[in-house]
Chains A and B, each alone.
Chain A
Amino acid sequence: MTKETLYNYTLHLADNALILAQRNSEWCGHGPVLEQDIAITNISLDLIGQARSLYQYAAELKNENSGTGAVTEDSLAYLRDVRAYKNCLLVEQPNGDWAQTILRQFFFSTYQFLLYQQLQKSTDITLAAIAEKSLKEVTYHVRWSSEWVIRLGDGTQESHDRLENALDELWMFTGEFFTPVGYEQEAVNAGFGVDVSTLKVEWEQRVNEIFAEATLPESAAAGREGAWMQVGGKEGVHTEQLGFILAEMQYMQRAYPGAEW
């Protein structure tokens, strides 16, 4: 029971990192300026690295259970279908314009930062080690995306409007972060998971601080209290976006199983 919970919980963390990395990598060669193209793809690289550590661990857990070596980090990334993915809905949302990409990163990195701070204290030493390491990278992601939220919000009328549009688009996907599903609750009970519902207050506080500097409507987050939130991704019920991401990401391995270069 606990093994299966640990496996699901690890996969959830890995899928978040991988899918956001895949989305960000779509900017490669298309960034607004060279430095920011490099920045967003660097963030992708960090997230892929984190996803790899987590998938390797998940594969180890799965193989221990089955007594075979059938599952690998690659099979987990390339050979699972939509319903088996456990990422939050936010990370699979399209890049949209630069404002939407930035806001998605800011919302996620702020959440991931708070989550990994707690996960460092996990009773599972592998998860704790991955969190401890990743946190250093996530700190840079939070800093970079916060600066961009401020730059866009407090920039021109055009950039400000775009950021507000992004907020309208993405806010409904932020509630899922703090709504634990079955395996997260079991992970908390077993001592190795983080109770995500406790992260909400600090997350909103940090978001509001940056929003205030970005001249977004006073307490944009608080103003949306009680807004309808979309959930389901963590349990495999995704928006239509994920299927397209997987189709592109998994195509080669599906068409040419085991291909390497």
Chain B
Amino acid sequence: MEVISNSSVQKIWSILEEVCDPEVPVLSVIDLGIIRDVKVTKANEEEAVEVVITPTYSGCPAMDVIRMNIRMVLLQHAYKNIQITTVLSPAWTTDWMTEAGKEKLKAYGIAPPNLKQQVCNTHLFAEHEAVQCPHCNSYNTRRISEFGSTACKALHQCNDCQEPFDYFKCY
């Protein structure tokens, strides 16, 4: 068994670009920052792939679908020996979301997460976050509920354009 070179690994990374979050279909698993590692080994002329992923929220039901979709897309590209490993630590953070991913989110109408260091900390009543409205770009917005349509989102409303919107809350 030998560990395989960069080009094979790069190929897997580009295949994984095709796998999207089932709840937020504009984001790929790479945009989300949940792919922690890709390893390719070769035994008997056959490449074995290991994809290491980390869950977003502990209870996120999308994770099972994502795991299955990763397997499916690799099968479609003729990989047979596939292993998907889940790691919990270091815990996923919205800071791992790519800049491209954040732009896609905003274009989709979901406010992208603020940087974790700014406001999201374990201090109970930290300063209220200034969340930008994805529609009119105003920062004059208010939180309606800490919890939204999926585990990763909160519900906000813009005081200027009055549109309610989802905020991908920082984690």
Complex: A254 Cα to B100 Cα, angstroms: 49
Q: List 29 A-B contacts (CB under 8 A).
A: A35-B155, A38-B149, A39-B145, A39-B147, A42-B148, A42-B151, A45-B151, A46-B58, A46-B59, A49-B57, A49-B59, A49-B60, A50-B59, A125-B89, A129-B91, A132-B89, A133-B55, A135-B122, A137-B58, A139-B122, A140-B146, A140-B147, A142-B124, A143-B124, A143-B146, A146-B124, A146-B125, A147-B146, A206-B124
Residues on A close to B: CB < 8 A?
A: 35-36, 38-39, 42-43, 45-50, 52-53, 113, 117, 125-126, 128-130, 132-137, 139-140, 142-144, 146-147, 206
**Does B79 sit within 8 A of A, measured CB to CB?**
no
Determine how close the nearest CB of chain B comes to the CB of A61; give it in whole angstroms: 16
**B interface list, Cβ under 8 A from A:** 55, 57-61, 87-93, 122, 124-125, 144-149, 151, 155, 169, 171
Q: Which 5 A-B pairs have CB atoms at the shortest separation, nearest pair first? A: A49-B59, A49-B58, A129-B89, A39-B147, A45-B59
Q: Return chain B residues, CB-CB under 8 Å to A206.
A: 124
What's the Cα separation between A139 and B147 when bound, in Å? Answer: 13
Q: Which residues of A contact B171 (CB under 8 A)?
A: 136
> Can you name the residue of chain A whose Cβ is closest to the Cβ of B153?
A42
Q: Supply 8 further A-B pairs (C-beta < 8 A) apart from A39-B145, A45-B151.
A: A45-B60, A113-B122, A129-B91, A130-B88, A132-B91, A133-B89, A136-B171, A137-B57
Cross-chain contact B59 with A143 (CB below 8 angstroms):
no
Q: Do most interface residues of chain A lie in helix, strand or loop, or is the interface mixed? A: helix
| A140→B145 CA distance, assembly (Å) | 11
Partner of B58, one of A53, A128, A140: A53
Q: Is the interface of B mostly helix, strand, loop or mixed?
A: loop
Residues of B within 8 A of A135 (CB): 122
- B98 shortest CB reach to chain A, Å: 20
Partner of A136, one of B91, B148, B155: B91
The reply to whether A132 and B88 form a contact with Cβ atoms under 8 Å apart is: yes
B146 contacts across to A, CB distance below 8 A: 39, 140, 143-144, 147
Whether the Cβ atoms of B88 and A38 lie closer than 8 Å is no
Note all chain A residues with C-beta closer than 8 A to B55: 49, 133
Residue of B nearest to A46 (CB): B59
Max count, chain B CB within 10 A of own CB: residue among A36, A39, A52, A128: A39
Q: How far is the CA of A69 from the CA of B90 in the complex (A)?
A: 28
Question: Which chain B residue lies CB-closest to A146?
Answer: B124
Instruction: Please judge, given known A-B contacts A46-B59, A132-B91, whether A38 and B122 are in contact too, CB under 8 Å.
Output: no
* CA–CA, A137 and B171, complex, Å: 8
Q: With both chains docked as a complex, state the minimum distance between the C-beta of B111 and any C-beta of chain A, in angstroms.
A: 17
CB distance from A167 to the nearest CB of B (A): 20
CB distance from B81 to the nearest CB of A (A): 22
Q: Which of A35, A117, A139 is within 8 Å of B144, CB to CB? A: A35
Which of A47, A49, A52, A143 has most chain B Cβ within 10 Å? A49
* Shortest beta-carbon distance from B36 to chain A in Å: 13
Q: Which of A38, A125, A130, A136 has the most CB of B within 10 A?
A: A136
Find A133's partner among B91, B144, B145, B148 (CB 8 Å cutoff): B91
* Distance between Cα atoms of A130 and B90 in the complex (Å): 10
B residues in contact with A134, CB < 8 Å: 58
- A133 engages B124 (CB within 8 Å): no
Contacts of B149 in A (CB 8 A): 38
A117 (CB) vs chain B CBs: closest residue: B122
Across-interface contacts of A52 in B (CB, < 8 A): 58-59
